[in-house]
Structure 1
Amino acid sequence: MPMPGKDLQQRIYETDLPARLDRLPWCRFHTLLVFALGITWLLDGLEVTLAGSVSGALKASPALQMNNADIGLAGGAYIAGAVLGALFFGWLTDRLGRRKLFFITLFLYIGATALTALSWNLWSFLLFRFLTGAGIGGEYTAINSTIQEFTPARYRGWVDLTINGTFWIGAALGAFGSIVLLDPNVVSGDLGWRLCFGIGAALGLIIMLMRLWVPESPRWLMIHNEPEEAKRIVESIEQRVRTLGHELPPVTEPPLRLHARDHTPLKEVFSTLFVAHRQRAVVGMALLTAQAFFYNAIFFTYALVLTDFYNVPSAHIGWYVLPFALGNFCGPLLLGRLFDVVGRRIMISSTYILSGILLAVSGYLFQQGLLDVVQQTIAWMIIFFFASAAASSAYLTVAETFPLEIRALAIAVFYAFGTGLGGIIGPTLFGALIESHDRTNVFIGYLIGAALMVIAGAVQARWGVAAEGQSLEKVARPLSQAG
């Protein structure tokens, strides 16, 4: 008797749904989708900023009694959770569907960040930060794959970069929240930093309601033996567009012929990632590792540099994070369209290399003591205007250059490798370097981050894929495609 899985894979059908999704004009559906799902990056920005902005309050907390090394360790715990959460939930996202997982991961985030606010000692704080990171890591895989699969090809670069840039709206919210809640005249004692983490849980509950109307990805449905449901969702979106008076052009692309499947074996996943597409794997690894070290090393310890080298009171850290966040948000917003017009290879490589060079220059000025706190903040604003666009493009690259069947897990694997190498080592290393109170040691750390960005930019220039304006199925042929 034949196995059900084998019978399923013998079924072949034709579909034009990807081409129909790509021909859509930008409409209210896409805007609502971006708000409901893209807000994940805002939550991550909020979490990372809070961790940095409240570091002084955490060290002063009688319950936690943390030092600079503990602050770096907490950053490492958050990233470790994000790495493992991305891998586990990324695998489930490709297997069970995008929609189920972006509810599960958000629920985990809400619970863990609420528990962080209730931490009673160092180890409980580290555990809850780990679980918060796991929720955010899982969100990345489900959210990025969903948004990519709904967004028309001609908008994909700008939309993806802008969504990733909302990380810095979260950073601004975290900074502003810390300014208010760490003010002893507003909130006294240990309560301030606890209320700061409560902001994330409250936002998460609102986001949970916003996501109720978001449908499953038709691209995921069509390869998991549910072409009728996929067709119904696409027709519903098309009907909304026609109601608004838009005429849809005819589909000119030939239909895809696909084998139905219920899952992709892990052996095929890793063969696809590291054999069939090994050059793309090298590019993804380089881009994500470099930006993870660059960002996490500097931003997780941003507050420590301000307090230890510029004597900024911990309650005032938020005022310096706000302009930093503005530069980071404006980068993807203003440069994002160029990634669709000028092209991926040129824009990704140039923003990476420029970011590295600027960090090396500003690091030297810091080491020489030539920058006051305002000038240092302006320097970081300029650097991260370009670095933010570069970092956002790393997620865009990984999400669009691997096949549909393994997209979420591909994001997870490269996020995990890159963040594991750069995101855990970075904050821990910089925490120790800052603890030495030696500007030269910190400068060495900046040089490492700068070198990684330049190398990643060179790798992208050599092997990057020109994916602008192309359908996801042309950039990476589906594993289930027949013929």
Structure 2
Amino acid sequence: MSHGVETGRITTDIPARMDRLPWSRWHWLVVLGLGTVWILDGLEVTIVGSMTDALADPKTGLGMSSFDVGLAGAMYVAGACAGALFFGQLTDRFGRKKLFLITLGVYTGATVLTAFSMTPLWYFVARFITGAGIGGEYAAINSAIDELIPAKYRGRVDVAINGSFWVGAAGGALLTIPLLDPTKVDQEWGWRLAFGLGAILAIGILIVRRTVPESPRWLFIHGREDEGEEIVRDIEQRVTSESGKDLPSVSDTITIRQRKTISLALIAKTVFTMYPKRTVLCFSLFVGQAFLYNAFFFTYGDTLIEFMDVKQTGYYIAVFAVSNFIGALFLGPLFDRIGRVKMLTGTYVLSGALLTYTGMTLDSYSAVSLTAMGCLIFFVASAGASAAYLTASEVFPMETRALCIAFFYAIGTAAGGIAGPLLFGKLIEDAVNGGEGISAIAVGYYIGGALMIAGGIVAAFLGVKAEGRSLESIAKPLTAEDDAEPTDDERRRSPQPA
């Protein structure tokens, strides 16, 4: 490769050493420091979805209509798309750790701004910036997690972490119950306190996250192999001390042409020309899950209020959210055991079919039965949606990983996540103003179901069998050399663990 600024050539065994580690307390630290950010995302989305009445009342809120609530959701998603693309390329260029600290800082500051919103315009802008921080998190965090977690556990850990969004969703739904109760909290301040608590949680996560190291894989490609070696040795010593057993030696190595930067032109070429089938696969998965979740969940509270006379939506949304997390937690290990292709196909097709059936029978549901059906649909869908992020993060070369996650998140979410809330918000508003029943919004269910089924069919034909394989074997790094024999000096620069 001639792109970028070449700084040297090394032969390293760091990927093999990271993948052969047994699960340890250190890996739990990574999960706690990096994975808990999805709880914040779930908290954000649910608070907005649960406080429709509070935001609509001009005395206690901002005088927002149902369409405004959908627009706020669209602004959040638009910010997430922009943030993912902007911070994604910075993550590949400047490192995982710098960016997952910066993006969390952006989120925290924007959440505080949201709590102090005085007008709908202020609220929309604050939601856009908050989304930008979360979008950057998706790129930085997913790339870091996959590069730090052993191959044997990568599927289940990634799916469970992305599924932890729903822990925040359940917490946010329950949190809004007392905060939006006029007998307990002044309604003018309740929704503002909800956003403020999200910012406090983010600061706690930031403190834990500072102890998570930079990805050794990123370090050795960018000419900082000594730092990567030091991090890996420290991890090995921790694991050995914890288990009381010596780690097995490794023989697999990879030869790398180190570079400070990788050009955007090369990244684009990688995505569109070297891996066109994987590009279609990721696009299909992201569009399907983005429309399904953003369309349904951003406006679910509004649906219950407008069509089923539910006054307090928090309990319904909390139950719905718990089913999503349980689905990701219980089905996640099957992505390692049964395989990526079979599980992606099954979860997408089944959830899409169930959503389509729900749309056909919308008139027959009560608030309780519709929530129960939603729990069934999204128990299945949550694992597949989480695995979309896993797929994008492991099927492209390491130098492009964060930007590829950002790219597919942005285009998929823009196609489904911006259009979805706007469409559902408009459908609900038109149905209420026209005196129609809930069946008037069924078209949204049909579109979401069709996109999920299409994503599952694409996965069946184009899916990648990545379970149990190292990231380097799934997609060779752009800077890797197949045939180059390492020199004695290069061998000395990548020692085996003591």
TM norm. shorter chain > 0.5 = yes
5+ long unaligned stretches in structure 2: 483-498
- Report 1:320-469 matches (<5 A): 320-366=316-362, 369-437=363-431, 438=436, 439-469=438-468
The Cα of 1:246 is off from its aligned counterpart by 2.9
- Per-residue CA deviations over 1:427-477 (Å, capped at 9, x if unaligned) read 000000111224333111100000000000000000010000000000000
Matched, 1:470 2:457: no
Q: Is the 8 A contact 2:179 2:187 kept in 1?
A: no
Contact 1:348 1:393 in 2 (8 A): yes
CA contact (8 A) 2:6 2:257 kept: no
AA paired with 2:370?
Q
Alignment of 1:174-323 (within 5 A): 174-244=172-242, 245-253=244-252, 255-313=253-311, 316-323=312-319
The structure 1 segments of at least 4 consecutive aligned residues displaced by more than 3 Å after TM superposition are: 3-7
| Contact 1:91–1:409 (CA under 8 A) maintained in structure 2 | yes
Could you say if the C-alpha distance between residues 223 and 181 of structure 1 is closer, same or farther in structure 2, counting changes exceeding 3 Å?
A: same
Deviation digits for residues 211-251 of structure 1 (CA, Å, limit 9, x no counterpart): 11111000000100001110100010000011111331221
* Residues 183 and 260 of structure 1, relative CA distance in 2, 3 Å threshold: same
Residue in structure 2 matching 1:39, options 13, 36, 52 = 36
Mapped partners of 2:126, 2:105: distance in 1: 14
- Structure 2 Cα separation of the partners of residues 397 and 246 of structure 1: 33
Letter in 1 for 2:391: T
Which residue of structure 1 lines up, in the alignment, with residue 492 of structure 2? none
Aligned partner of 2:493 in structure 1 is none
Please tell me the residue identity of whatever aligns with 1:207.
I
**8 A Cα contact 1:61 1:190, kept in partner:** no
The aligned counterpart of 2:25 is 28
TM-score normalised over the length of structure 1: 0.97
Distance across 1 between alignment mates of 2:393 and 2:386: 11
CA distance in 1, matches of 2:292, 2:77: 14
SS in 2 for 1:260: strand
SS of equivalent residue, structure 2 residue 10: strand
C-alpha distance after superposition, 1:297-339 (max 9, x if no partner)? 00000001100111001xx111101110111000110011110
Distance in 2 (CA, whole Å) between partners of 1:246 and 1:109 is 41
Does structure 1 residue 119 correspond to structure 2 residue 125? Answer: no
Q: Report the CA distance between 1:165 and its aligned residue.
A: 1.1
Q: For 1:141-180, what aligned pairs fall within 5 Å after superposition? A: 141-180=139-178
> Aligned residue pairs: how many?
474
Give the distance between the partners of 1:428 and 1:13, measured in 2 at CA. 51
Note if contact 1:434-1:442 (Cα within 8 Å) is conserved in structure 2: yes
Q: Deviations over 1:13-58 (max 9, x none)?
A: 1000000000000000100110110011111100110110111210
Within-5 A mapping of 1:80-119: 80-119=78-117
Q: Which amino acid aligns with 1:230?
A: G
Percent identical pairs in the alignment equals: 51
Q: Is the 8 A contact 2:359 2:439 kept in 1?
A: no
Contact in 1 for aligned 2:5/2:261 (Cα 8 Å): no
Q: Distance in 2 between matches of 1:7 and 1:325?
A: 48
- Shift in Å, 1:267: 0.5
Q: What is the CA–CA distance in structure 1 between the aligned matches of 2:406 and 2:316, rounded to whole Å?
A: 32
How far apart are the structure 2 equivalents of 1:376 and 1:440?
A: 12
Contact persistence 1:78–1:132 (CA under 8 A): yes
C-alpha displacement at 1:188, in angstroms? 1.4
Aligned partners of 2:288 and 2:455 also within 8 Å: yes
Distance in 2 of aligned mates of 1:4 and 1:424: 35
- Could you tell me how far 1:372 is from its partner in structure 2? 1.1
Matched residue of 1:190: which SS?
A: helix
1:66-120 Cα shifts (integer Å, max 9, x gaps): 0000000000000000000000000100000000001110111000001101000
Describe the superposition over 1:128-176 as per-residue Cα deviations: whole angstroms up to 9, x where unpaired: 0000000000011000000000010010000001101110110011011
Does residue 51 (structure 1) correspond to residue 32 (structure 2)? The answer is no
Q: C-alpha displacement at 1:4, in angstroms?
A: 13
Tell me how far apart the structure 1 counterparts of residues 93 and 411 of structure 2 sit (CA, whole Å): 21
Equivalent position SS for 1:12: strand
Q: Specify the code of the residue in structure 2 equivalent to 1:60.
A: D
